[in-house]
A and B are shown apart, each in its own frame.
Chain A
């Protein structure tokens, strides 16, 4: 029986003859699943050309090719994919820092030209460019770290009555984790004014090789300890990681390297000039970041450099403008010590234009570099600004640094919304806390918070310290007591509300609501609006002889003025921060150095 069943049973297969065939007659045009990994799409506006896709592709199917001019935070490169190599693993999609790279669910593409299958998604138009379906990374990117390691800070109550440094700095473990997030795209290098080799020094942190890290820092920046604390870190706004996550804490990582190399070791690593003395002399006016950077470079080239500084100590705005709680003076001193160790002579307390005329420098030196910064505080010149009780922020900050007695009334109003305004507000708050036991600072800014000039962290920290910040207020008058015992003394600042500050083109065009008038009570008003360079030190003749461009000394791209012996660098010509000044210092030093070399050739 069993045997008979074994013979008959197989014939049941015949029932399939009358079933509908399951074969898809024409598979061309069959739609793939919603999440199919088909042909690539790239949102060209969103893509920043960081090249992480190129790096992760194990088939080397992706080449980054130029399609537009590079701008900050966008290399102008876009991925070109070779479908002769691609395996559609979609790691490029998963690693994409902006989420611009995706895949459509299209999978048929017929072309007689084999070269057509190398294409730039989003640039070379394709039928699947706008398809909604296809592989999308599920959720946030996980292949590279998205969240920044939080930086430790002194809590407000511990810092408000002193000038101790607020930022604690990373531990090695923290730095390692933060350094690990870097994808080494180098967008930051292009954006950094000094083009610091950021990915490489971050890599040095990952390797735990702090000596190497320091060496890399010094290749482009002799003020790494300073910049590790107060740099405006434009690099972080270009960082690929800022899309769909926090930018790498590049500034803190830089500081971390310097924090981990002792001062002695630092001098050992940087060393002293290896070039033979050239016998050429260079005078530098102003011992700020631009002047000292130029001095460092020129000294290392073998030239004899003398830096003249009007203040009692070198450092310029880094010392006299930036409060100690952001940049401790000993950190600055350590950077300057390395520069001085190159044989640079720094003469402090010498005001060029007063004690020594520019002409004298011209006679005694082969070249002169003017790096005087912006030490004149602008005034709004609204009614009431003339007279006692109204101060310029920049003067007050310098006097605080110099240890001079400054007026510390119970109520202070600051005009301005930039970092200088925050610096003076927070410095005054500390002094008030010490003297009166309470903070009484109000900052009034023309800009609303959406357009604030000061860094976000400065604003937040100011709030934490009990400082009142009133945005979108236009100062109208410093009101003074008209009679009584306090006649003539400051009573407060009268302001109007600003309804809009910029026009459609983003140009300054303030609109006021005069109905919304306020008097901010104050015993002192501090103006922290703009700053200007004191070009009067040049003297009338030189001023007249030099070429100017829209208020500033005209210099060529290398920083040379219209007078062949004079170069200018730093805030006074380029601005407005330490790292730009450092970059400027390098540029000028290169130009001066080239001229001195040429002089040497001629002499020989």
Chain B
């Protein structure tokens, strides 16, 4: 599977699987992090874990949907961002006892990668169901990133109160 990622073309199924894996990894990463952070900022990590879990569920529903089934084998151009995407899956770099700002910065970086991936996928697919799916996912990531940024501003830039 690793080598497959290096070729130019890939299938929709594979892309969606990579994406789901990304979220699954993230979910377990955040879940592991929960007990490590102090209780006062635990809500942040818990929220992030919940969001990733919701993401995983959404993707799995998507793959199972009858409309999607016909398109799963469609070949699509592998996104440039895919490399960084895989990196994010592989290399979560966050200290043992991160504070709220570190957690948020990490989460923001992840959202950025996901956003770029989906945007590129959407751009690479012709109009149709797959295009719509990727566009939807890109929008979803944009919204989540906006939420995180607002939270970041609230916590870091406005006195913490």
- Contact partner, A553, options B40, B101, B153, Cβ 8 Å: B40
Q: CB-CB contacts of A204-220 with B at 8 A, as 1s and 0s?
A: 00000000000000000
Q: Is A45 an interface residue (CB 8 A)?
A: no
**Which of A115-123, A128-136, A339-347, A568-576 participates in binding chain B?**
A568-576
A residues within 8 A CB of B146?
Answer: 503, 507, 509
Question: Cβ of A550 and Cβ of B43 under 8 Å apart?
Answer: yes
User: Looking at the complex, which one of A446, A507, A548 makes contact with B40 (CB distance below 8 Å)?
Assistant: A548
Is B43 touching A529 in the complex (CB atoms < 8 A)?
Answer: no
Cβ–Cβ contact B161 & A574, under 8 A: yes
User: Does B60 lie at the interface of the complex (its beta carbon under 8 Å from any beta carbon of A)?
Assistant: no
Contact B39 A530 (CB under 8 A): no
Complex interface: chain B residues within 8 A of A540 (CB)? 38
How many residues on the B side are at the interface (Cβ–Cβ under 8 A)? Answer: 24
Does B61 lie at the interface of the complex (its beta carbon under 8 Å from any beta carbon of A)?
no
Distance between Cα atoms of A576 and B152 in the complex (Å):
18
User: Are B161's CB and A571's CB within 8 A?
Assistant: yes
B94 to chain A, nearest CB (A): 13
How distant is the Cα of A535 from the Cα of B102 in the complex, in angstroms?
Answer: 17
In the docked arrangement, what's the CA distance between A168 and B41, Å?
45
A378 engages B160 (CB within 8 Å): yes
Instruction: Verify if B100 is at the interface (C-beta below 8 Å from A).
Output: yes
Q: Which of B102, B152, B154, B161 has the most CB of A within 10 A?
A: B161
Nearest-CB residue, chain B, relative to A546 = B39
Cβ contacts under 8 Å, A573 to chain B = 161
Q: A378-B101, A508-B149 are in contact. Are A551 and B155 (CB under 8 A)?
A: yes
Instruction: Scan A518-559; emit 1 where CB is below 8 A from any B CB, else 0.
Output: 000000000001111101000010011010111111000000
Q: Which residues of B contact A531 (CB under 8 A)?
A: 159-160
User: Are B44 and A378 closer than 8 Å at their CB atoms?
Assistant: no
Query: Is there an interface contact between B160 and A508, defined as CB atoms closer than 8 Å?
Result: no
- Give the complex CA separation of A380 and B105 in angstroms: 10
Bound-complex Cα distance A64 to B78 (A):
68
Q: How far is the CA of A378 from the CA of B146 in the complex (A)?
A: 21
B41 touches A551 (CB 8 A): yes
How many A-B contacts if CB must be within 8 Å?
77
- A352-389 vs B: 1/0 string, CB under 8 Å? 00000000000000000000001000111100000000
Q: What's the Cα separation between A546 and B42 when bound, in Å? A: 12
Answer yes or no: A510 CB below 8 A from chain B CBs.
Answer: yes
Q: Closest chain B residue to A417 by CB distance?
A: B157
Question: B156 near A: Cβ within 8 Å?
Answer: yes
**0 or 1 for each of A492-510: is its CB under 8 Å from B? (1 = yes):** 0000000000010001111
CA distance A378 to B155 in the complex (A): 9
Interface residues of B in 40-73 (CB under 8 A from A): 40-44
Check B156–A378 contact: CB distance below 8 A: yes
Answer whether residue B158 sits at the interface, using C-beta atoms and an 8 A cutoff. Answer: yes
Across-interface contacts of B161 in A (CB, < 8 A): 374, 552, 571-576
Chain A residues lying within 8 Å of B158, measured Cβ to Cβ, are 418, 453, 530, 576
Instruction: Tell me which of A379, A380, A549, A551 contacts B160 (CB under 8 A).
Output: A551
**Cα A379 to Cα B101 with chains together (Å):** 9
Verify B149–A510 contact, CB threshold 8 A: yes
Q: Which residues of B lie under 8 Å from residue A535 when comparing CB positions?
A: 38, 40
Residue numbers in B under 8 Å from A453 (CB-CB) = 158
A549 to chain B, nearest CB (A): 8
Given contacts A529-B157, A530-B155, A574-B161, contact A551 B150 (CB under 8 A): no
Instruction: Point out the residues of chain A lying under 8 angstroms from B156, CB to CB.
Output: 378, 380, 529-530
A508 touches B152 (CB 8 A): yes
Within B75-116, which residues are at the interface with A (CB < 8 Å)?
100-102, 105
Residues in A neighbouring B43, C-beta threshold 8 A: 548-551
Chain A 409-446 against B: per-residue CB contact (8 Å), 1 yes, 0 no? 00000000010000000000000000000000000001
Measuring CB to CB, which residues of chain A are less than 8 angstroms from any residue of chain B?
374, 378-381, 418, 446, 453, 503, 507-510, 529-533, 535, 540, 543-544, 546, 548-553, 571-576
In the assembled complex, 16 residue pairs joining A and B whose CB atoms fall closer than 8 Å, in A order, are A378-B156, A378-B160, A379-B101, A381-B105, A418-B158, A508-B153, A530-B156, A548-B42, A551-B40, A551-B100, A551-B155, A552-B40, A571-B159, A571-B161, A573-B161, A576-B161
Nearest first, the 9 closest Cβ-Cβ pairs linking A and B are: A575-B161, A508-B153, A507-B150, A532-B160, A548-B40, A508-B150, A576-B159, A530-B157, A530-B156
